[in-house]
C-alpha cells in the first residue's frame, strides 16, 4: 500500500477511536542523542534512574519492535472544562494537584484507545504487520516523538506545545512495521516569550528548553522519595501532586479547547481530587489513600510522600497567612 494512503487511513481510524490529534514519525535513532546524554550526565534526572538504565532504548524508537518502520503518535487533550482551582473557597487548608491527574488514570484510558486503533488498523489494512502500543511507561522520549510527528514543538518549558491545543495533552504511541508517510514537523512558536522561565518558583527551568528535574515541583512531589531540601520546600506552595505553573502562564493554553474525553474530568462533585484537604492527608492510612486516589494517576505517590507533601503545603500556607496578616496590620 502507498505510504501516503496508509497515513490517511491511520488519521481516519484515529479519529474514530476518539483520538483527535495524530501524526507519524519515522521509527529510528533520535536526532537529539547528544542533548539527552548531556542531560543525564548533568544529573538533571534526579532519582529517576530508569531514564539512565534505558537510555539506549530511548534513543532509538525502532528498538522497541523488531522491524519497526513508523511511529504513530497521538495527543489526547485533558484541558478541564471547569477549573476548581480558579474558584477558591473559604477553606485555605487545601492542596493543589496537577490537572492531568484529576480524572481516571490516563495510562489505562489512552492505552485502550490506542489498542482500539491498532486493532482497526489490522482489520483494515490487508497486509501482515506488527504493532506495539506505548503509553508513558515504555522507554521512549515521547515529546520528541510527538514533535517529529508534527503534533507541536517542544517549548521553552520542555512541554509539547501546539498553537490550538496548548500543552495540556496526553501522549501515546503505536510502534509499527508498517511503512507510513511521515507528517511534517511544525516550527517553534515560543519566540521571545519567557513567561514559563520567569514563573517557575524553584528555578527548575535553568535555561530555555532545559529542565533540571531535581528542582521541579512535579518531580519533587511525585518522583522524589526522600526528604526535600528546605530551601525548595519553601518554594513549593501548596502543590501536593505535580505542578502546572509553567503551563498556566503559557499564552497557548489560554484558549485551548476543553477535553472531550469524559474520563479525564474530575471524579466527584467536591473537587477534592484537584484541591485535597491537607489536614486529612496528614492523617491518612493506606486505605484512605486508596479510597481517595484509587484509579487515578495520583496513586503514583506513596502514602509517605502524600503525608510529606501535605505537611510542606500546610507549613507554606501558614507562612503565607502570617505574611498576609502582617500586611493587613493584624
Residues 6+ apart with CB under 8 A from 233: 312, 315, 316
What is residue 119's predicted lDDT score, i.e. its pLDDT? 97
**SS3 label, residue 154:** strand
Residue 136 a catalytic site member: yes
**SS3 label, residue 105:** coil
Radius of gyration, alpha carbons of the chain: 21
What is residue 90's predicted lDDT score, i.e. its pLDDT? 55
**Distance (Å, whole) CA 64 – CA 132:** 8
For residue 118, give the C-alpha cell. 491498532
Q: Is 254 exposed, middle or buried, given 0-12, 13-18 or 19+ CB atoms closer than 10 A?
A: exposed
Q: Where are the domains of the chain?
A: 3-89+100-176, 204-245+268-328
- Closest of 128, 180, 124, 127 to residue 2, by C-alpha: 180
SS3 letters for 221-278?
Answer: HHCCCCCCCHHHHCCCCCEEECCCHHHHCCHHHCCCCCCCCHHHCCCCCCCCCCCCEH
Q: Which residue among 76, 83, 126, 136 is the active-site one? A: 136
What is residue 81's predicted lDDT score, i.e. its pLDDT? 81
**Distance (Å, whole) CA 298 – CA 100:** 9
Q: Which stretches in the chain have pLDDT values below 50? A: 327-330
What is residue 89's predicted lDDT score, i.e. its pLDDT? 58
What is residue 330's predicted lDDT score, i.e. its pLDDT? 38
What is residue 143's predicted lDDT score, i.e. its pLDDT? 95
Amino acid at each position: 500500500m502507498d505510504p501516503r494512503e496508509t497515513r490517511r487511513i491511520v488519521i481516519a481510524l484515529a479519529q474514530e477511536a476518539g483520538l483527535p490529534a495524530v501524526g507519524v514519525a519515522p521509527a529510528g535513532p533520535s536526532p537529539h542523542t547528544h542533548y539527552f546524554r548531556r542531560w543525564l550526565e548533568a544529573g538533571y534526572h534526579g532519582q529517576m534512574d530508569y531514564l539512565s538504565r534505558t537510555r539506549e532504548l530511548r534513543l532509538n524508537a525502532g528498538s522497541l519492535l523488531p522491524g519497526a518502520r513508523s511511529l504513530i503518535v497521538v495527543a489526547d487533550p485533558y484541558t478541564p472544562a471547569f477549573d476548581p482551582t480558579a474558584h477558591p473557597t473559604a477553606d485555605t487548608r487545601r492542596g493543589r494537584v496537577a490537572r492531568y491527574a484529576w480524572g481516571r488514570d490516563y495510562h489505562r484510558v489512552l492505552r485502550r484507545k490506542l489498542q482500539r486503533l491498532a486493532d482497526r488498523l489490522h482489520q483494515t489494512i490487508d497486509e501482515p504487520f506488527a504493532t506495539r502500543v506505548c503509553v508513558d511507561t515504555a522507554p521512549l522520549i515521547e515529546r520528541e516523538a510527538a514533535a517529529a510527528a508534527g503534533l507541536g514543538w517542544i517549548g521553552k518549558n520542555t512541554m509539547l506545545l501546539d498553537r490550538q491545543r496548548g500543552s495540556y495533552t496526553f501522549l501515546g504511541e503505536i510502534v509499527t512495521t508498517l511503512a507510513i508517510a511521515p507528517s511534517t514537523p511544525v516550527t517553534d512558536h515560543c519566540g521571545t516569550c519567557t513567561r514559563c522561565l520567569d514563573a517557575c518558583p524553584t528555578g527548575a527551568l535553568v535555561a530555555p528548553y532545559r529542565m533540571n528535574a531535581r528542582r521541579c515541583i512535579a518531580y519533587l512531589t511525585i518522583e522524589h522519595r526522600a526528604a526535600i531540601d528546605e530551601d525548595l520546600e519553601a518554594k513549593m506552595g501548596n502543590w501536593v501532586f505535580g505542578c502546572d505553573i509553567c503551563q498556566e502562564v503559557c499564552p497557548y493554553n489560554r484558549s485551548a479547547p476543553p477535553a472531550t474525553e469524559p474520563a479525564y474530568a474530575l471524579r466527584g462533585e467536591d473537587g477534592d481530587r484537584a484541591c485535597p484537604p491537607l489536614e486529612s492527608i496528614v492523617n491518612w492510612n493506606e486505605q484512605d489513600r486508596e479510597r481517595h486516589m484509587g484509579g487515578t494517576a495520583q496513586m503514583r505517590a506513596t502514602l509517605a510522600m502524600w503525608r510529606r507533601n501535605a505537611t510542606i503545603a500546610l507549613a507554606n500556607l501558614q507562612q503565607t497567612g502570617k505574611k498576609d496578616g502582617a500586611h493587613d496590620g493584624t
